[in-house]
Amino acid sequence: MYHSKIALPVVALVCMVLFSRAAAAVMASPSKPDDDLMELVKKKDVDGLIALWLKDAERGVRKDGMYSGALLSLESEKIVPAFIKAYETKNERIMAQSFSILACLDRPDELLKVVLRVREIETENFGMIPEELKKKVEELVENLDADEFEVRDKAKKELIALGGRCAGILEKYRNHPSIEVRYSVEQILRTYKKSGDVAKPPELSRGAKTELMALLKIVKPDDACRIARTVLQAKYPNRLMLKQSLLILTEYGKPADAAIAGGYLHHKQSDVRKAAIQAVAKTGGKEYIDAIRELLNNRTYAPTAALALARLGDKDSIEIIKKADVSLRQKRGESHEKYLQALLLLGDGKYIERELDSDTPESAIVAIGEAGERRYLGKVLEIFETSGTGYELLVTAEYLLKLSNKGNKEVFAAIRKRASALKPVSPQLYEKLTVLLLQYGEDEAVSMVRSMLKSEDVVTRKNAIDLIRKSGNAKLAPYLRPLLDDKATFRIFAGLGGYRTVIMGQYATDAICGFAGARLGLWRFDPDRQRREIDKWFEANFPEK
């Protein structure tokens, strides 16, 4: 996987979609696949399978899971080309299914190119400039800083002649150390704009927008940033695309991206503006401190702005932040937590210490946990041991585990003791604390779930799977392997969503589709291969020590 943080949300979503479609197809279809389809599977006739899929799709027959399973039954090296062919049919339903599976196959760079080509989106709009052109532009930019006027003038004229397709490359030179280069680049970009020679955003269908937003989450960080920059510079009217692009820059952007994000600090949509504030802070845009300070006067943006100023190290904002925190008197809520975290990051912890000693320490605990201030670990542990049995207990347990570097013996013991005491009186709280312990791999919780998985009682096994699913701890996946020995238990297990969240959310290998709902279709065609691929997948991801 190129980057787990980018990949995790989309893979989990993909798996949910695949299972729902496939399960419906399997349940609605007869006990044996259609004879025509079975014959095509035996012949490994990709073109025939896709043509039959397209025919059924156009007639409104929903057998996407079965056709996906049929293509997945091909030799491994033929699977990706087959789904690319299916995507090229331009039937929106088949495209959506094929995109989902291709996204699971850990080939996002290849998938990006396919999407741009099939959707007829000019690749230059997404910063995918030919390498030769990039080198040419870089050489000409160097000449913009030459001592001789003739060399500078010639380079400038050549860059103008190359046209607006170079705009994306020139953007990064706006902050060049040389004043001469910065000035010339600004002039060239203005020339492009005046002549209308700037790449315009293409008209995007609903499917294309959905796919681009998904690709933002799964492609390599550099590719994601290129797409995000293009979306933002082109000022797409789609609010969700703008917000997602800003969040990508928040996660992976570079200092030069602060200028792009800064252009959205006054966007009319509040969620876009909040994302812009975060992106400016994470990319170190100190030149926007004054603009962000102004937002402290607006209650909608003030908490996000306060945290951004803290991350930019603006200690002059401490008193302004204190005045902005009208919720200090209430001592609760997400806004108050952000104000406290901002003050803590700026070195003013007196509010934190005061609230830790109050009757409502929850906001202070959240702020400490988010800021990673381990010096308060002892105090938080003390609060946990004496806290009530509601929200305060769960919040304190969660941030105790975060502060203790994903759990230590003392913290595990304290949480285990409270969980055991709550089991007979509050099963729900007991379960939530157990899920937290599983999430951080506490030995006793893991042992308990393993014994539940071995139970002969179906309900007990289902409860164990559900606990693992909620914990999201992929390291527990090997303990689930025995449940996949036959089709019946596999289908029950897939229905519970265990692998969708636990395994598929953490690992994306070529065999990941073996646990997608579409693989139920493959089981109909080749059950022995299904078992082999499951074992192969486990061996690859969980080798025996």
Q: Is the dihedral of CA 301, 307, 312, 317 positive or negative?
A: positive
Asked whether residue 21 falls in the same domain as residue 90, the answer is yes
Question: What gap in Å lies between CA 509 and CA 540, rounded to an integer?
Answer: 9
Do the domain assignments include residue 181? Answer: yes
One domain, residues 10 and 108:
yes
In a domain, 231, yes or no: no
Residues 18 and 94 in one domain: yes
- Residue 65 located in a structural domain: yes
For residue 180, tell me if it sits in a domain. yes
* pLDDT at site 538: 61
Domain ends where: 166, 195, 224? 195
Task: Count CB atoms within 10 A of the CB of residue 544.
Answer: 6
One domain for residues 9 and 98: yes
b (16+ CB within 10 A) / e for 405-426: eebeeebbebbbebbeebeeeb
Cα separation, 488 vs 490, in Å, equals: 5
- Residue 341 and residue 290 share a domain: yes
CATH number for the domain harbouring residue 146? 1.25.10
Q: Please report the pLDDT score of residue 282 as a whole number.
A: 94
Number of other CB atoms surrounding residue 26 within 10 Å = 19
Q: How far is CA 258 from the centre of its chain?
A: 21
Angle at alpha carbon of residue 390, lines to 384 and 396, rounded to 5°: 30
Is there a contact between 189 and 170 (Cβ–Cβ < 8 Å)?
yes
Q: Is residue 481 part of a domain?
A: no
164 and 65 assigned to the same domain: no
- Regarding whether 190 and 149 lie in a shared domain, the answer is yes
The count of domains in the chain is 3
- Alpha helix (H) ranges present in 253-349? 258-262, 270-282, 289-294, 302-311, 318-324, 334-345
| Residue 15 lies inside a defined structural domain of this protein | yes
Question: Quick one: CA torsion of 243, 246, 250, 255, rounded to 10 degrees?
Answer: -170
> Same domain, yes or no, for 88 and 135?
no
**32 and 138 inside one domain:** no
Q: Of 371, 387, 420, which residue constitutes the final position of a domain?
A: 371
Per-residue model confidence (pLDDT) at position 211? 85
- For residue 166, the enclosing domain spans 131-195
153 and 44 fall within a common domain: no
- DSSP per residue over 47-59, as a string? HHHHHHHHHHHHT
Say how far apart CA 490 and CA 499 lie, in whole Å. 10
Q: Is the residue at 315 inside a domain?
A: yes
Q: End of a domain among 347, 371, 395? A: 371
| Same domain membership, residue 170 and residue 80 | no
- Residue 167 in any domain: the answer is yes
Q: Which residues of the chain have pLDDT under 70?
A: 1-34, 104-106, 122-131, 168, 196-203, 234-237, 326-332, 406-407, 474, 477, 481, 483-545
- Residue 105 and residue 135 in one domain: no
Residue with tokens 């004054």: 290
Q: Give the helix ranges, DSSP H, for 331-457.
A: 334-345, 350-356, 362-371, 377-386, 391-403, 409-422, 427-439, 443-453
